[in-house]
A and B are shown apart, each in its own frame.
Chain A
Amino acid sequence: MLKTFPKGGIHPAENKITSSKAIQRMPVPKVVYVPIAQHIGIPSEIIVDRKDKVEMGQVIAKSGGFVSSNIHTPVAGTVTKLDMIVDSSGYKKQCIVIRTDQKNESNFEVKEYPLLQEITMSSEGILKRVLDHGIVGLGGATFPSHVKLNVKESQHIDCLIINGVECEPYLTADHRLMLEKADEIIVGVQILLKALHIDKAVIGIENNKKDAIKVLKQACLHDPRIKVAALKVKYPQGSEKQLIKSILNREVPKGGLPLDVGVIVHNVGTIFAIYQAIQYDIPLMERVVTITGKKLDHPANFWVKIGTPIKDLVEEVGGIPEGTRKIVNGGPMMGKAIKNTDVPVTKGTSGILIISESEASRQESKNCIRCSNCVFVCPMGLEPHLLMNLSEKGFYERAESEDIMTCIECGSCSFVCPSHRPLLDYIRFGKDIVKKLQTAKN
């Protein structure tokens, strides 16, 4: 029996069209738009000005606090503007526009980085490097990694979990990375084990990526501290809390963090970024992005520089197909629909999904027939139908006492609802108001 979390979960059609496509390198974009709020927490502070010349990898926005991160320019060139741009959240955010210097060679040379297994850096040095090099969680939540690694004396950590689950349908960025950079990822895990002073790490991978499981098992044979766990395919297993439950059978308490059960979780993409930062001193400037959709000519996986407009990616795979009704930044379950393709790729962009007419539109919402499906699939043990009613009718305090704030917004309830009720929409709305009421109270 493969491991998985016991309560709830769904199995949407996987549609991993690009899983056999090797990661290609995107051509260097002419202009990059680097937003300064790419991570959860305080936005970074811009430290460059118009007409400044910047070198590749230079810090252009400094960390604005503890829960914040540095941002580096992914190209060498000139800052043309400090502008406002609509990012994937749909809000206008401040961003730094940099025109690529076409004559600067560092923009175009493709360096080879051979595997470097020896870890010479001290654990303090590793933590500082992770902070300096702007590394955030690349799974999509973009939580600054140095905050997670900053474990206080009083907290006891015994296990590091590497999230290679990629439970979202369509996306294959992590899958390809694990296949192509398995050895580097294992070194990355060793780096973190050293930084955290622990000797147990588990890489969790869903069983629909058998090749990745095999490759990683092979790669970690020489290190008994690292294990690979094959997990049953079930959404939302990539969610931190569900993953810990699946692998270690520990339950993160309500309102708590993985730290409370002695675990730290990092995404495989983050691990690779940490490897590059520690062994080759490369800051986080690019990431793997899957660009996919059933109607696309050449769906693919790319190494993309942060700040590249999504339209460059779309052109690279043959343009937006006829009849496209929705463009999603991320996967189909939790991704955000974006208005146009001017939105730039940020540290949290794991994929771009192009959805055509037939799948894009929602069906009309009908009466709840109390079929209990939403209750059965909720991985957090909530009652989505009740929470929707409470937020719709304005009973926010009752919603709070029904644990609306523990919802992880995985969308399983809306996915299964046979009456097509917008359960998660209303739950999000209710959460928003409950949060405001909580802040007002304090």
Chain B
Amino acid sequence: MVKTLLKNYKQLKIDMADEKIIISASPHVHSDRTSKRIMYDVLIALTPAFLVSLYLFGISALIMTSVAVISCIVFEYLIQKYVLKTTITVSDGSALLTGILLAFNLPSTLPLWMVIIGSLVAIGIAKMSFGGLGFNIFNPALVGRVFLLISFPVQMTSWPLPVVNNTSLVDAVSGETTLGIIKEGLMYGETMSTLADKIPTIMELFLGVTSGSAGEMSGLALIIGGIYLLIRKVITYHIPVTILATMAVMTGIFWFVDPQHYANPLIHLLSGGAILGAFYMATDLVTSPMTKKGMVIFSIGIAVITVVIRLFGAYPEGISFAIIIMNAFVPMIDTYFKPKRFGSKIKAKFV
């Protein structure tokens, strides 16, 4: 019975569309928000960070980003056209965004064929195999990045030095990331005070004059973009604020107890992609929870896992792993953390 009703209902809608006077159910107006606009708002928000990466790493960052973007779009098109044989939706801007975010998470010196493999994994495995936009469980760009990090650890951790190479096409002099220096130094028995000369100052970290992935450099540029996203209501403050605050508190406790063997919270917040992760990767609409309560739980999870990996794990960074791990919990979080229903406080008295 129900099936025929549903069929009739769908048929009814199609019939009515042909008539001159449209009959449709309310509401009869719509806000001017569209998925496309959300995607382009995120692109606008990423522009300052992109400009910083162009300044720091020059042509190679531009080439790497273009390759990532183009290969993401091409892979999505090819998969939709020849493998899934469905409607082509590359124009919605989501593949473009995945490409940029993937590039932001890679060192600009990475060989381009690796970038293309990363795009294939991001689009083909993390996104399209789950059913395309809206159905993926894991953040596609991060899946691409983590795949590359595990497969090509040497190339993925060779960082170009900032600024000095921004006009040359040749391979850059390798530097090291702040958290990498700290991790290695502490392992060989150095203390934070002896390491202080080797790592950039807080100000340098904030402005982004250091080594790292193409887009994670400048805290300032990323925060400007993040504020734009908040103003445009693409994201809410819950995820970024909770992640950064939890990370600060956790690393702060360790630093307070033993400042010689643990870096101070500001270093943790301003390096290793924490801000990029908190504002752009964890807030990915598709792979984050849908209620505010859920978002807070999700973010605390990310922050805790990140700090544990950073302080006790093998990798100096770790926010990508943390986000992917918490992505897997999103369906469960959505099931258990519901919005508060109106009128649920009191039991109903029927008249």
A and B are interacting partners: yes
Would you call B343 an interface residue if the criterion is a C-beta within 8 Å of the partner chain's C-beta atoms?
yes
Would you call B314 an interface residue if the criterion is a C-beta within 8 Å of the partner chain's C-beta atoms?
no
Give the residue name and chain of the B residue nearest to A408 (CB): B342
> With contacts A369-B285, A381-B342, A418-B38 known, is A424 near B134, CB below 8 A?
no
Interfacial chain A residues near B89, Cβ < 8 Å: 366
Interfacial chain B residues near A328, Cβ < 8 Å: 26, 28
A366 contact from B35, B338, B344, B346, Cβ within 8 A: B35
Do B31 and A253 touch (CB < 8 A)? no
Do A363 and B30 touch (CB < 8 A)? yes
Do A381 and B340 touch (CB < 8 A)? yes
Give the residue name and chain of the A residue nearest to B131 (CB): A367
Do B343 and A254 touch (CB < 8 A)? yes
Would you call A295 an interface residue if the criterion is a C-beta within 8 Å of the partner chain's C-beta atoms?
no
- Of B1-9, B188-196, B214-222, the segment with at least 4 beta carbons within 8 Å of chain A is B1-9
A12 contact from B24, B29, B288, B339, Cβ within 8 A: B29
Chain A: how many interface residues by the 8 Å CB criterion? 75
A260 contact from B24, B94, B134, B348, Cβ within 8 A: B348
| B101 CB → nearest A CB, Å | 15
- Of B15-23, B66-74, B118-126, the segment with at least 4 beta carbons within 8 Å of chain A is B15-23
Would you call A339 an interface residue if the criterion is a C-beta within 8 Å of the partner chain's C-beta atoms?
yes
Interfacial chain B residues near A311, Cβ < 8 Å: none
Do A256 and B341 touch (CB < 8 A)? no
Give the residue name and chain of the B residue nearest to A259 (CB): B351
The winner among A324, A370, A428 for most chain B CB atoms within 10 A is A370
A373 contact from B28, B33, B286, Cβ within 8 A: B33
Interfacial chain A residues near B288, Cβ < 8 Å: 370
Do A375 and B27 touch (CB < 8 A)? no
Interface string of A336-374 (1 = CB under 8 A from B): 111110000000000001010001111100111111110
Would you call B81 an interface residue if the criterion is a C-beta within 8 Å of the partner chain's C-beta atoms?
no
A382 contact from B20, B30, B236, B341, Cβ within 8 A: B341
| B128 CB → nearest A CB, Å | 12
Would you call A199 an interface residue if the criterion is a C-beta within 8 Å of the partner chain's C-beta atoms?
no
Would you call B308 an interface residue if the criterion is a C-beta within 8 Å of the partner chain's C-beta atoms?
no
Interfacial chain A residues near B135, Cβ < 8 Å: 367
Interface string of A395-438 (1 = CB under 8 A from B): 01000000100100101001110111010110011000100000
Would you call B82 an interface residue if the criterion is a C-beta within 8 Å of the partner chain's C-beta atoms?
no
Interfacial chain B residues near A327, Cβ < 8 Å: 21
Would you call B176 an interface residue if the criterion is a C-beta within 8 Å of the partner chain's C-beta atoms?
no
A406 contact from B6, B21, B291, B341, Cβ within 8 A: B341
Interfacial chain B residues near A411, Cβ < 8 Å: 26-27
> With contacts A256-B349, A379-B342, A382-B339 known, is A12 near B38, CB below 8 A?
no
B351 contact from A90, A155, A325, A368, Cβ within 8 A: A155
> With contacts A363-B30, A370-B285, A418-B37 known, is A241 near B23, CB below 8 A?
no
Would you call A128 an interface residue if the criterion is a C-beta within 8 Å of the partner chain's C-beta atoms?
no
Do B340 and A7 touch (CB < 8 A)? yes
Interfacial chain B residues near A321, Cβ < 8 Å: none
| B285 CB → nearest A CB, Å | 5
Dominant SS among interface residues on chain A: loop
B29 contact from A359, A378, A380, A429, Cβ within 8 A: A359
Do A369 and B31 touch (CB < 8 A)? no
Give the residue name and chain of the B residue nearest to A330 (CB): B26
A362 contact from B24, B33, B290, B340, Cβ within 8 A: B24
Interface string of B316-341 (1 = CB under 8 A from A): 00000000000000000000001111
The winner among B21, B339, B343 for most chain A CB atoms within 10 A is B343
| B141 CB → nearest A CB, Å | 15
Cα distance, A315 to B19, chains bound together (Å): 23
> With contacts A367-B133, A367-B135, A429-B9 known, is A325 near B20, CB below 8 A?
yes
B341 contact from A332, A376, A403, Cβ within 8 A: A403
Do A256 and B30 touch (CB < 8 A)? no
Do A337 and B22 touch (CB < 8 A)? yes
Interface string of B134-175 (1 = CB under 8 A from A): 110000000000000000000000000000000000000000
Give the residue name and chain of the A residue nearest to B5 (CB): A433
Do B31 and A416 touch (CB < 8 A)? yes
> With contacts A369-B285, A372-B285, A394-B2 known, is A254 near B341, CB below 8 A?
yes
Would you call A21 an interface residue if the criterion is a C-beta within 8 Å of the partner chain's C-beta atoms?
no
Do A325 and B22 touch (CB < 8 A)? yes
Would you call A383 an interface residue if the criterion is a C-beta within 8 Å of the partner chain's C-beta atoms?
yes
| A168 CB → nearest B CB, Å | 10
Interfacial chain B residues near A403, Cβ < 8 Å: 341
Cα distance, A7 to B342, chains bound together (Å): 8
Interfacial chain A residues near B341, Cβ < 8 Å: 254, 380-382, 403, 406
| A50 CB → nearest B CB, Å | 32
Would you call A57 an interface residue if the criterion is a C-beta within 8 Å of the partner chain's C-beta atoms?
no
Cα distance, A254 to B350, chains bound together (Å): 10
Give the residue name and chain of the A residue nearest to B30 (CB): A415
Cα distance, A384 to B112, chains bound together (Å): 43
A257 contact from B23, B38, B346, B351, Cβ within 8 A: B351
Would you call B34 an interface residue if the criterion is a C-beta within 8 Å of the partner chain's C-beta atoms?
yes
| B5 CB → nearest A CB, Å | 7
The winner among B38, B134, B290, B342 for most chain A CB atoms within 10 A is B342
> With contacts A367-B132, A371-B285 known, is A380 near B342, CB below 8 A?
yes
Cα distance, A385 to B342, chains bound together (Å): 17
Would you call A67 an interface residue if the criterion is a C-beta within 8 Å of the partner chain's C-beta atoms?
no
Would you call A333 an interface residue if the criterion is a C-beta within 8 Å of the partner chain's C-beta atoms?
yes
Would you call A252 an interface residue if the criterion is a C-beta within 8 Å of the partner chain's C-beta atoms?
yes
Do B22 and A370 touch (CB < 8 A)? no
| A130 CB → nearest B CB, Å | 19
B2 contact from A155, A324, A433, Cβ within 8 A: A433
Cα distance, A338 to B24, chains bound together (Å): 9
Interfacial chain A residues near B236, Cβ < 8 Å: 376
Interface residues of A (CB under 8 A from B): 7, 10, 12-13, 90, 155, 169, 241, 245, 251-257, 259-260, 324-328, 330, 332-340, 353, 355, 359-363, 366-373, 375-376, 378-383, 385, 394, 396, 403, 406, 409, 411, 414-416, 418-420, 422, 424-425, 428-429, 433
Q: List 7 A-B pairs, Cβ < 8 Å.
A: A90-B23, A326-B21, A366-B35, A370-B286, A372-B285, A406-B342, A416-B33
Interface residues of B (CB under 8 A from A): 2-3, 5-6, 9, 20-31, 33-35, 37-38, 89, 92, 94, 132-135, 236, 285-288, 290-292, 338-351
Q: For the A-B complex with A372-B290, A381-B340 known, give 14 more contacts whose Cβ atoms are closer than 8 Å.
A: A241-B342, A241-B343, A253-B346, A253-B348, A254-B341, A255-B348, A256-B350, A367-B132, A369-B94, A375-B339, A378-B339, A416-B33, A419-B35, A433-B5
Which 9 pairs between the two chains have the least Cβ-Cβ distance?
A: A411-B27, A367-B134, A255-B348, A254-B343, A372-B290, A381-B341, A253-B348, A256-B348, A380-B342
